[in-house]
Amino acid sequence: MRVSQLSFGRNLPESVIGVGVDIIRTARFEDIALRAPGGVAARLFTANELADRRANDCEYLASRFAAKEAVMKSLGCGMGDMSFEDIEVYHLESGAPAVRLSGVASRRARQAGAVRVLVSVSHDRDYVCAFAVALGSAGGGGADDETCDS
């Protein structure tokens, strides 16, 4: 059986629109947070994220920051292209991390053809790493189809 790239794509319910990864040293994130005027938390995290019982833990906040950066990259964007508050990281009942997109992040995802973004986060005391995959309909748009300008 010969499978062409076109026919293979039609057999998939979703396809990868983009991937993103981010890694940060927890101590570096803490230094940035301490130096930011007015506190970095209000500009990077949603009210729900800050209401979490772990919100005073630098490792927890650094993991959220890395996840948001990875999501931006999976949508073909960078830090200046959308607000960090447009990406909310939360946990499913299973404990797995998930994201909610709003504002520019949601519009960018729709423009790219993404129907959902999967995220994975791993951390220890010294480093946090996050990986995101934007998924869309097979044959849909890709991250290079649009710019991140809003």
Number of domains in the chain: 1
Is 70 inside a domain boundary? yes
Q: pLDDT category, 147, cuts 50, 70, 90?
A: very low
**85: how many CB neighbours lie within 10 A of its CB?**
17
Is 118 inside a domain boundary? yes
What is the rounded CA–CA span in Å between residue 127 and residue 27? 8
Q: Which domain holds residue 49?
A: 5-136
pLDDT digits (tens, 9 = 90+) for 16-61: 999 999 999 999 888 877 666 556 777 888 889 888 888 778 888 8
With beta carbons less than 8 A apart as the criterion, state whether 43 and 84 touch: yes
pLDDT digits (tens, 9 = 90+) for 75-113: 999 888 899 999 999 999 998 999 999 999 999 999 999
User: Parallel, antiparallel, or unpaired: how do β-strands 97-101 and 87-91 relate?
Assistant: antiparallel
| CATH assignment of the domain containing 28 | 3.90.470.20
Q: Give the phi and the psi of residue 60 in degrees, each rounded to 5.
A: -60, -50
DSSP 14: -
Is 148 inside a domain boundary? no
Is 147 inside a domain boundary? no
Determine the 3-state secondary structure of 38 from DSSP. coil
